[in-house]
Amino acid sequence: MSETGAYIHGHSAEVLKAHARRTAARDAAYLIPHLRPDFRILDVGCGPGTISADLAALVPAGRVTCVELGAGALDAARQTFAQRGVVNADFVVGDVTARLPFADGTFDVVHAHMVVIHLPQPAAALREMRRVAKPGGLVASKDMIMATTTWFPPDARLALWERGITATIAATGADPQMGRSLRAAALEAGFAPDKIDARASCWSFADDEAVAFWGRSCAARMAPGSELRKKIVAGGYATEQQADEFVAASQAWVEEAGAWFGCMNGELLAWK
């Protein structure tokens, strides 16, 4: 994304809190078996750096370079690394939709988590990630398939989450179903068919703590004045009343016995 890019959720404290729950063990499990202790890794769109710091711990003789669009956006990642005492890292401003500030063939692994789904030209971004990967290096990307989101118990008011986010992402020119298109985008980016491994996994919130977090997080991210709500209402994808109803429904969902949320994600491994 450019500096004026189209990340629809904004960067509120509630959004960053949700991102900070991400771990390499859960969110980059598909990548971990391919790492070696001396690898140099680029983490594109690192956010608060929780996945990045986990990856750095897995490459103690290597290094992780965290990239974000602006210097301010890197502060949370720096704080995460400092709190954990992880020192094998660099923090660099860069834009995968333009030209990253690295030479060709610099990294063993180039990783992006829920980044490509927000980009109008995903193949161009993967091509740039491929450029900075070493010969034989690995590009990894994980992206949602928004149409697969599902809540239990069903509640028509909760459908706004999928409907509103899908429409809002699509309005930016990006693909809200990007997880299912990663193989096609990798082919367009120049990866050979026999160098691509495209698979899928599922996110789920399925115990009391996770359900409480997710329901309350969704309610806060759709609350009056939130960035996401502004975009959804301004785009005509929901009324203010429907947004209020979603907030009430997500808060009530937390209290439901057996509450569960799930969503499929596409995962790409592509070797240069």
> What is the widest separation between alpha-carbon atoms in the chain?
54
Query: Is 3's pLDDT higher than 80?
Result: no
Domain that holds residue 154: 13-271
Q: What is the pLDDT of residues 107-140, one digit of tens each?
A: 999 999 999 999 999 999 999 999 999 999 999 9
Residue 64 lies in a domain: yes
Whether 63 is in a domain gets the answer: yes
Q: Which two tokens stand for residue 120?
A: 């109008």
> Is the pLDDT confidence value at 18 over 60?
no
CA dist 46 and 74 (Å) reads 8
**Cα–Cα distance list, 146 to 169, 183, 206 (Å):** 10, 17, 18
- Tell me which residue has tokens 């990894």: 140
Nearest to 14 by CA among 159, 215, 263: 215
48 is a domain residue: yes
Whether 73 is covered by a domain: the verdict is: yes
Rounded CA Rg of the chain: 18
Does some domain include residue 17?
yes
Residue 6 counted as domain residue: no
Single-letter amino acid code for the residue at 271: W
In this prediction the pTM is 0.92
- 147: in domain: yes
Query: What digits encode the pLDDT tens for the residues 170-222?
Result: 999 999 999 999 999 999 999 999 999 999 999 999 999 999 999 999 999 99
Query: How many structural domains compose the chain?
Result: 1
Across 7-11, 224-228, 264-268, which has the greatest mean pLDDT?
264-268
pLDDT band at 73 (very low <50, low <70, confident <90, very high): confident
CATH value at residue 131? 3.40.50.150
Alpha helices in the chain (DSSP H): 13-19, 24-27, 50-58, 75-84, 122-132, 159-171, 182-188, 208-221, 227-234, 240-253
- Does residue 5 register a pLDDT over 50? no
Please give the torsion angle defined by the CA atoms of residues 145, 150, 155 and 157, in that order, rounded to the nearest 10 degrees. Answer: -20
Three-state secondary-structure class, residue 144 = strand
Residue at 5 is within a domain: no
pLDDT band with cut points at 50, 70 and 90 for residue 7:
low
